[in-house]
Each structure stands twice: as structure tokens, then as C-alpha cells.
Structure 1
């Protein structure tokens, strides 16, 4: 059972905007992909928090990963810069915490974090 309390407003938004008319795993994944891709304002600054680095790492989110890479989880392309290192790689969106983003970007990322925290799957 999820430790995150059900949020009826968020549930309705997800049902009507992310997974509307999606009846299978693949359709739900594609629905989520386009809901996120069309509503996030790239690029934006974020903190990437992972099990390996719980203190987080500041980076720039530059876009969604290719749709084919998001059939089981949502990934974003991130730019990490430190010293002479400038690298772009994929990170799980559930590990990305946006910094100073517009309201819509914050909302759709929070929707995805909620979906994952509730234990929902495609």
C-alpha cells in the first residue's frame, strides 16, 4: 500500500490529461510521455537525487529522452557540468527535483512523482 495519500484533483488531471483513452501498458506510457514532453518548459535547472548520491547533484534538464527509452519509466536528458566535464545522459524523472521552474513544469513533474510514489504502473 502506498504511503502517499490519494489526491483526487491530481488523480483526475492524470486520468484526463496523461492516460486518457489509454487501455494498455504501451498506451499509458505514450500518454505519459507526451503529457510530460508537451508541458515541461525545457531547459530547466534541477537537483538529481539518487540512491547513490542522496545529497543530490545540480544539473540542467534539456529535454525528454527518446520515446523508445520511456516504455517502462520516464527519462529526461540532463546536462552535467563540473570543471572540464560536460556530459549529457539520461536520468529517471522520478529522481529529478526541479529548481525555480514555471508552474506547469512543476505540476507535471509533481504528477509523475505522485504516480510513482503511489506505486502505479503503466
Structure 2
């Protein structure tokens, strides 16, 4: 398995903006939630890239991200709300490939994917 190379600018943003005041796992989770809540400009399209047992999405399935899940639901990983039938469903952000032209949204989601790819956790 190839490890994602370190990206100094992204590492600096994560440590200086996202988890800067986090002294435990809960504070780290809240830092990520607040950062993503502020930076994700919804709605935007995404596509499922990974099968997860906690999610009904199928690989290749297109979804519309409509918001962040509640902070309490994001204590183990980041969940976003997607339109699913006539309702909204929380699914892991790491399961989705985003499709947005918005620079802030792209950077924020890429930061989370980088965090996961580097093997970091709360």
C-alpha cells in the first residue's frame, strides 16, 4: 500500500486552522466539524467511491451533498447529509468523491481526504 506523501502546506493548514486548539479527540472532531461546516458550500454533487457497511451507497452512485451532519454524529469521523430518496441521510465524507467548482469546498474536502489517507484519526 502506498502512503500519501506529506503535503507541508496542507499539514500547516490542518494544524494551524483545524485542530489548533484541540487537546483531545472530541476537540479534534469539533475542530474538523466547524472547519467543514464553514467551508463546504452546499449543495454540490458527489459520487460514492468506496463501499462501507454503515452506508447504503453503492460504488459509482451519484448523490447531492446538502449539508453537514450534526456535530454529535461526527465524533468518530465526518458525516455529511445527502439527498436520499425523499429524505436526507448521513454518510461518511471519506466515502465520497466531491464534484464542486467551488474552491473552498474543494480544498476543505481534499483536506479531510488527505487526513484520512495519511492515517490520522481523532
TM-score, length of structure 2 as denominator length:
0.89
Question: SS of the counterpart of 2:86?
Answer: strand
Q: Distance in 2 between matches of 1:2 and 1:77?
A: 30
After superposition, what is the alpha-carbon deviation per residue over 1:44-99, rounded to whole angstroms, capped at 9, x for unaligned? 11112222633x1111000000100000100000013xxxx433211100111111
| 2:75 aligned with 1:62 | no
Alignment of 1:9-20 (within 5 A): 9-20=9-20
Runs of 4+ aligned structure 1 residues displaced above 4 Å come to none
TM-score, length of structure 1 as denominator length:
0.89
Number of equivalences: 117
Aligned to 1:107: 107
Q: Runs of 5+ in structure 2 lacking a partner?
A: 53-57
Aligned to 1:76: 80
Q: Distance in 1 between matches of 2:101 and 2:16?
A: 23
Q: Distance in 2 between matches of 1:100 and 1:27?
A: 28
Question: SS of the counterpart of 1:23?
Answer: coil
Higher strand share: 1
Q: Runs of 5+ in structure 1 lacking a partner?
A: none
